[in-house]
Amino acid sequence: GESVGLHLPTLSVQEGDNSIINCAYSNSASDYFIWYKQESGKGPQFIIDIRSNMDKRQGQRVTVLLNKTVKHLSLQIAATQPGDSAVYFCAENAYTGTASKLTFGTGTRLQVTL
Amino acid sequence: ETGVTQTPRHLVMGMTNKKSLKCEQHLGHNAMYWYKQSAKKPLELMFVYSLEERVENNSVPSRFSPECPNSSHLFLHLHTLQPEDSALYLCASSQGLAGDAPGELFFGEGSRLTVL
């Protein structure tokens, strides 16, 4: 069946270093992927998305890479800051044309050390 | 401030109580969602409403009853819940139309439910 999973539950990174958060998916028909960030006590917040016809997309300090061959997705955060500490979720979207149906992974906790 | 407001933020109820969770979005979106977030489990989609019509019901027990009276408001009515229903219930909204970011949902801060 469909599944979206994360390789590591916790990632510790020193401030200023780059962070890489990985995600594997199993549904080869998925054509749209999203990364969300959830800080303590808040709801998830959209970071960046990528369609399956792309293999890379860049935002502000973040880059998402998509490898369809091995069904792998990653989120790279440049110059990680304390404010980046949060749980990060990847999700795949089954868009119905009127609404989104997101399937989320378990999440990876990013801890930024000083 | 995401433009999606949920009340109450915290709720404790017994298994025989009836309560409701409320969600309001100020973004002019057409689609609204209920998600359940339990510890160490992925977010689970419960219900999806598009233009006030339910378009998704993910095999959710009937003790959870959604209501969407208009495109800005969404309720989750709760009755005879079980302790395993204790979780964070998140409401979200989206534009609901094909656009640049169809997967961009705007989440509220959630309602933390504890069932005794």
Per-residue model confidence (pLDDT) at position A2: 40
Q: Which amino acid is located at B99 in the chain?
A: G
- Give the tens place of pLDDT for each residue, B98-108: 555 677 899 99
Low-confidence ranges of chain A (pLDDT < 70): 1-8, 94-98
**Residue carrying the six token digits 């979005």:** B25
Query: CA-CA distance, B68 to B70, in Å (whole number)?
Result: 6
Nearest chain A CA: its distance from B42 CA (Å): 4
- Give the tens place of pLDDT for each residue, B33-81: 999 999 867 899 999 998 777 877 778 999 999 999 999 999 999 999 9
Per-residue model confidence (pLDDT) at position A9: 82
Q: Is B55 near chain A, with CB under 8 Å? A: yes
B12 pLDDT higher than 70: yes
Per-residue model confidence (pLDDT) at position B1: 72
The interface residues of chain B toward chain A in range 12-51, judged by CB-CB distance below 8 A, are 30-31, 33, 40-43, 45, 48-51
* CB pair distance less than 8 Å for B55 and A4: no
* Helix/strand/coil for A17: coil
Query: CA-CA distance, A18 to B41, in Å (whole number)?
Result: 27
Which among A32, A46, A101 has the least Cβ separation from residue B45?
Answer: A101
Nearest chain A CA: its distance from B40 CA (Å): 7
Query: CA-CA distance, B67 to B49, in Å (whole number)?
Result: 9
Per-residue model confidence (pLDDT) at position A96: 63
Nearest chain A CA: its distance from B20 CA (Å): 19
Per-residue model confidence (pLDDT) at position B101: 66
Query: CA-CA distance, A22 to B75, in Å (whole number)?
Result: 35
Q: Which amino acid is located at B31 in the chain?
A: A
CB distance B98 to A86 below 8 Å: no
Per-residue model confidence (pLDDT) at position B63: 95
Q: What is the mean pLDDT of residues B90-94?
A: 94
Per-residue model confidence (pLDDT) at position B103: 75
| Cα Rg of chain A (Å, integer) | 14
